[in-house]
Amino acid sequence: MSGQSLFPRLEPLLPRVRKPVRYLGGEGNSQVKPWDDALVRWCLMYPDAYEVGLPNQGVQILYEILNEQPDVLAERTYSVWSDLEELLREHGIPQFTVDAHRAVGDFDLLGVSFATELGYTNLLTALDLAGIPLYATDRDERHPIVIAGGHAAFNPEPITAFVDAVVLGDGEQAVLEITDVVRAFKTAARPGGRTELLMRLARRGLVYVPSFYDVDYRPDGRIRAVTPNRPGVPARPAKHTVSNLDAWPYPKAPLVPLAETVHERMSVEIFRGCTRGCRFCQAGMITRPVRERSIDTIGEMVAQGLAASGFTEVGLLSLSSADHTEIGEIAKGLADRYEGTHTSLSLPSTRVDAFNVTLANEFSRNGRRSGLTFAPEGGSERLRRVINKMVSEEDLIRTVSTAYAQGWRQVKLYFMCGLPTETDEDVLAIAGLAREVIRAGRRASGHRDIRCTVSIGGFVPKAHTPFQWAAQASHEVTDARLRLLRDAIRGDREVGRAIGFRYHDGRPGMIEGLLARGDRRVGAVIERVWRDGGRFDGWSEHFSFERWEKACVEVLEPLGVSLDWFTTRERDEREVLPWDHLDSGLDRDWLWSDWQEALRGAELDDCRWTPCYDCGVCPTMGTQTQIGPTGRILLPLVSTGPSRPGGSSGPSGSGSPGRSADAAAS
Amino acid sequence: MPRRPEGPPPPPVVARVRVRFAKRGRLRFLSHRDVARTFERALRRADVPMAYSAGFSPHPRISWLGAAPTGAASEAEYVELALADHRQPRALGEVLDAALPAGLDVVACAPATATPLAELVDASHWWIRLPGVAPTALAAAVEALLARDLVEVERVTKDGHRRFDARQAVVLMVCRAENDTCAILDTVVRHTTPAVRPDDMLTALCVVAGLRPSVPPEPLRLGQGRLLADGTVADPLMPDRDDAERLVGRIDA
């Protein structure tokens, strides 16, 4: 019988695995709905270990939106660790959800969120454990529709054999529209079967169905064309854009795990999209335009989320949080509201700007000032112009001086290695920058007890960015430059001991590069690696470069292409890229001209404050930048007396809060 | 200059309450850290006026008693909460229970007494279900164990292997039968250093009699507290019984 709990069979295995708490479910604000009452049943997956997947905002948002529908049920599943995978196979227990421990294969839809390409092998494990055929072409009416989403899905070509459909962009509305189509299809007794359902979804522009498109290759291995193989489907499936984030204030009730996870806090997304125009940044390119949440909604989500979760920390998320037009008012308002309540606020992703130190001070009024993080990304001014990260050395020194003077003890600086046009000198400039940071910090703080950590990783070119045509630096080049930098920092007698250096081996980046810019032929590499035991490729203890290299030789070279062909080869303007038929709204000609501007070292301003530079997104998608200021402020929360501050979930929809907390004051 | 926290010191502790709670069902797989984290969040949701430590990263003042191991259920876990404001213990227990997930259940809540909680607890009563083990086999193993004065067991800790005696801690050990294929090890164990845990007792039974359950055992802590003369343990939240009743020697089953 479908929908039954597998827990009685799973339970005896749990004492035999590491961290059984990963598989229990029972998180605060999680839901178990009756199977038979639901007409459409979604299983949502984050393809990594529970502790990584649980905090994922995308999954939490969709989970809550779907479960609010009376005739819809949504449960979650995560990758099982290898010890449990072995036991599940031995005992014939399928991949299960953590909510009601139901078999994933029993659901109508399996939605998998890919934040990173390194989750692809884990998708295969889950499908296989679920009893779902690996290839979409082998599935029939008994199997769930497998849908990929998330940022990595903007080039889903390497996994097209394994998924039925792909959703591009924001999922909030898309997931409900897909549900509507599935509901109507099931109510009508599934006319035309699986293909007809996919056709209905494709025709309405909700999803990209890879099997409805054929790829032709040239004799030299490049793609000739990607064309629809049937009438009625869009030539270029487009991304979804939610245009009013205030109407979608999710998650309202964040999941509160019993287990320890990678983020022990709740998150409130304060805006989506970024138009800073950093040329390496896929997230900034594919999530345009900027759409702010208003200060009132942010205040309400923080209050409601804290009351419903008991978390002690709130992260204000976005791609560059200090860019919110009212971030100063938000920071002050929240710091005032929660002063003395042992609630801490954090602002990940801030730019190099002295104003951000002021914000950070606000957020740590009476707390420890341990570390501040900034991301100049490139070591030299020239390279920062190439990547359009407009930070001068002067800005950085001024910013860190302010931070050290105000009691911050440690500054962390993020950089990338292997950026287009980069030379050894560009990377060595990082050592010089770090030296100046320490000198400035010692001057500003008046003592020597300060530190700076340089954290650096290899750059991976991504689809839908100006660098999509660039040659990725080989791991040999990246590793050699990182060694040079390490030696330069360690050899500095004056400041070497005050500078920490953290870097990553360049090899996983090559595989990420293969998967990020690969085409359908790469699917067989993923399958080969998985059959050879590849799992959890984002985990250094599991990742095997040799396994991937071997599979590339075996699978790709007979086709006249290779790992290098996909990664270290620069593409020319006319080459058909594997994702060109997927519409992120960005105008290809603009991307190309921005790539040429990059090579010339020309900077580009943010379109929020300067005229539009025609990236193409707004006219193509019918969207526009939505920013404040609203002129409103956050008032103190009014106490509700001795009763508990709403442990139950708050008001539904975008209705007014129970407390008169967010009144306009302008 | 290093910064110091501004403002007045945290409010003083005005009351302490002790909570007895159970760890039941699937939540027996929670580790102590999982329980502690879940408890702290429930205290915030329930708006319990906790007292906090001073310094840059203040923590709610919660004192834990040795926790049941991951995988072991318990009807008798104890924790002491320091409060910055007065609350009726019974009402506090009710709101806390409502805020905790089902499976972490408040059993009782009482004002703290002068005697520190740790001094009111020196033994645990375990009820270990052994599916797949015949009661006759367990009875023989228990007899073999009790016949010895010392049974060394080895445990893997994060510092490597550690060998210690598991016999001296055993105050009482009885074999019970659920049915022909499910035995129950009913035992009272003194708290020693290192603590002799259910898996150590099972290792000891394996050492002396080769007992190896094929199905994972299901340990349940029924009670912990002061060991009494009759081999039972006294609930530390109950009013102190006369010290004369306390056990001095050791009794064997």
- pLDDT tens-digit readout, B139-178: 999 999 999 999 999 988 778 889 999 999 999 999 999 9
Collapse the DSSP code of B31 into the 3-class scheme (helix H, G, I; strand E, B; otherwise coil) and give the result. coil
Measured in degrees and rounded to the nearest 5, phi and psi for residue A626 equal -125, 100
CA angle B227, B229, B231 (to 5 degrees): 60
**Interchain proximity A21–B95, CB inside 8 Å:** no
**Interchain proximity A258–B38, CB inside 8 Å:** yes
Minimal Cβ distance to A309: which of B41, B43, B58: B41
**For position A179, which CATH number holds?**
3.40.50.280
Average pLDDT over residues A641-666: 35
Specify if A152 maps to a domain: yes
Specify if A42 maps to a domain: yes
Identify the pLDDT of residue A363.
Answer: 83
Element (H, E) at A436: helix A424-445
Shortest distance between the Cα of A80 and any Cα of chain B, in A, equals: 16
Say if residue A279 is in the same domain as residue A306. yes
b/e string for A566-596 if b means 16 or more Cβ within 10 A?
bbbbebeeeebbbbbbbbbbbbeeebeebbe
Instruction: Judge contact between B42 and A310, C-beta under 8 A.
Output: yes
Identify the pLDDT of residue A191.
Answer: 96
- Is 50 exceeded by the pLDDT of residue A306? yes
Single out the residue in B62, B83, B112 at which a domain terminates: B112
Instruction: Judge contact between A473 and A459, C-beta under 8 A.
Output: yes
Structural domain count of chain B: 2
The model's pLDDT over A333-389, given as tens digits with 9 standing for 90+, comes to 999 999 889 998 888 767 787 778 888 888 887 677 778 889 999 999 999 999 999
- Is 80 exceeded by the pLDDT of residue A247? yes
Q: A10 is written with which tokens? A: 């799973």
Q: Which residues of B touch A28 (CB under 8 A)?
A: 41, 101
Minimal Cβ distance to A259: which of B34, B41, B215: B34
**Interchain proximity B3–A369, CB inside 8 Å:** yes
Identify the pLDDT of residue B253.
Answer: 39
Say if residue A162 is in the same domain as residue A276. no
Say if residue B148 is in the same domain as residue B96. no
Identify the pLDDT of residue A347.
Answer: 84
Q: What is the DSSP letter of B138?
A: H
On whether any CB of chain A is under 8 Å from the CB of B10, the answer is no
Percent of chain A predicted with pLDDT > 90:
88
- Is 60 exceeded by the pLDDT of residue A542? yes
Structural domain count of chain A: 2
- Is 80 exceeded by the pLDDT of residue A646? no
**Interchain proximity B26–A26, CB inside 8 Å:** yes
CA angle A214, A219, A225 (to 5 degrees): 30
Say if residue B98 is in the same domain as residue B128. no
- Is 90 exceeded by the pLDDT of residue B121? yes
Question: What is the span of the domain harbouring residue A49?
Answer: 7-228
Shortest distance between the Cα of A57 and any Cα of chain B, in A, equals: 20
Say if residue B157 is in the same domain as residue B237. yes
Radius of gyration of chain B from its Cα atoms, rounded to whole angstroms? 20
Specify if B10 maps to a domain: no
Say if residue B137 is in the same domain as residue B69. no
Single out the residue in B112, B137, B155 at which a domain terminates: B112
On whether any CB of chain A is under 8 Å from the CB of B86, the answer is no
A24, A306, A339, A447: best to mutate for the B interface, most B CBs within 10 A: A24
Shortest distance between the Cα of A346 and any Cα of chain B, in A, equals: 14
Are β-strands B123-131 and B182-190 bridged in parallel, bridged antiparallel, or unpaired?
antiparallel
* Confidence class for position A657, pLDDT limits 50, 70, 90: very low
Say if residue B69 is in the same domain as residue B179. no
Q: A619 is written with which tokens? A: 């006219």
**Interchain proximity A20–B43, CB inside 8 Å:** no
Say if residue B106 is in the same domain as residue B181. no
**For position B58, which CATH number holds?**
3.30.70.580
**For position A277, which CATH number holds?**
3.30.750.210
**Interchain proximity B70–A366, CB inside 8 Å:** no
Q: Which residue(s) pair with A74 in the sheet? A: A42
Shortest distance between the Cα of B27 and any Cα of chain A, in A, equals: 8
- Burial class from Cβ neighbours inside 10 Å (0-12, 13-18, 19+) for residue A245 reads buried
Say if residue A81 is in the same domain as residue A213. yes
Say if residue B54 is in the same domain as residue B169. no
Shortest distance between the Cα of B45 and any Cα of chain A, in A, equals: 5
Q: A666 is written with which tokens? A: 């302008």
Query: How many C-beta atoms lie closer than 10 Å to residue A263's C-beta?
Result: 17
Identify the pLDDT of residue A659.
Answer: 31
Which residue's entry shows tokens 């112009």?
A385
**Interchain proximity B71–A15, CB inside 8 Å:** yes
Identify the pLDDT of residue B3.
Answer: 64
The model's pLDDT over A265-297, given as tens digits with 9 standing for 90+, comes to 999 999 999 999 999 999 999 999 999 999 999
Identify the pLDDT of residue B173.
Answer: 97
Say if residue B46 is in the same domain as residue B124. no
Average pLDDT over residues A638-659: 40
Specify if A442 maps to a domain: no
**Closest by Cα among B54, B50, B73, B75 to B63:** B50
Residue A113 CA to residue A153 CA, distance in Å, equals: 8
Instruction: Judge contact between B130 and B140, C-beta under 8 A.
Output: no
**Interchain proximity A258–B30, CB inside 8 Å:** yes
On whether any CB of chain A is under 8 Å from the CB of B246, the answer is no
Say if residue B26 is in the same domain as residue B84. yes
Identify the pLDDT of residue A574.
Answer: 96
Say if residue B22 is in the same domain as residue B103. yes
Say if residue B233 is in the same domain as residue B142. yes
- Is 70 exceeded by the pLDDT of residue A581? yes
Q: Which residues of A touch B57 (CB under 8 A)?
A: 367-368
Q: A386 is written with which tokens? A: 């190439």
* Cα-based distances in Å from A428 to A425, A484, A485, A486: 5, 7, 5, 9
Q: A302 is written with which tokens? A: 């923080």
Q: Which amino acid is at A197?
A: L
Instruction: Judge contact between A88 and A80, C-beta under 8 A.
Output: yes
- Is 90 exceeded by the pLDDT of residue A652? no
Contacts of B170 (CB under 8 A, 6+ apart): B145, B146, B187, B188, B189, B190, B196, B201
Q: Which amino acid is at A610?
A: T
Element (H, E) at A303: helix A295-309
Average pLDDT over residues A540-567: 97
Identify the pLDDT of residue A664.
Answer: 31
Least confident among A366-370, A435-439, A514-518:
A366-370
**Closest by Cα among A322, A350, A255, A291 to A170:** A291
b/e string for A631-645 if b means 16 or more Cβ within 10 A?
ebbbbebeeeeeeeb
Instruction: Judge contact between A585 and A288, C-beta under 8 A.
Output: yes
- Is 90 exceeded by the pLDDT of residue B238? no
- H helices of B62-109, in order, are 89-99
**Interchain proximity A28–B41, CB inside 8 Å:** yes
**Interchain proximity B26–A645, CB inside 8 Å:** no
ipTM of the complex: 0.90
> Whole-number mean pLDDT of chain A?
93
Closest residue in chain A to residue B69, using alpha carbons only: A15
Single out the residue in B84, B112, B140 at which a domain terminates: B112
Minimal Cβ distance to A258: which of B6, B43, B101: B101
**Interchain proximity A260–B41, CB inside 8 Å:** no
Measured in degrees and rounded to the nearest 5, phi and psi for residue A76 equal -120, 150
**For position B126, which CATH number holds?**
3.30.70
Instruction: Judge contact between A269 and B7, C-beta under 8 A.
Output: no
Are β-strands B218-227 and B233-234 bridged in parallel, bridged antiparallel, or unpaired?
antiparallel
| DSSP, residue by residue, A98-151 | SSS--BGGGSSEEEEE-SSGGGHHHHHHHHHHHT--SSGGG--TTSPEEEEESG
Minimal Cβ distance to A258: which of B34, B44, B95: B34
Shortest distance between the Cα of B1 and any Cα of chain A, in A, equals: 7
Question: What is the span of the domain harbouring residue B90?
Answer: 15-112
Shortest distance between the Cα of A29 and any Cα of chain B, in A, equals: 10
Specify if A514 maps to a domain: no
Say if residue B80 is in the same domain as residue B151. no
* Confidence class for position A407, pLDDT limits 50, 70, 90: confident
Shortest distance between the Cα of A256 and any Cα of chain B, in A, equals: 8
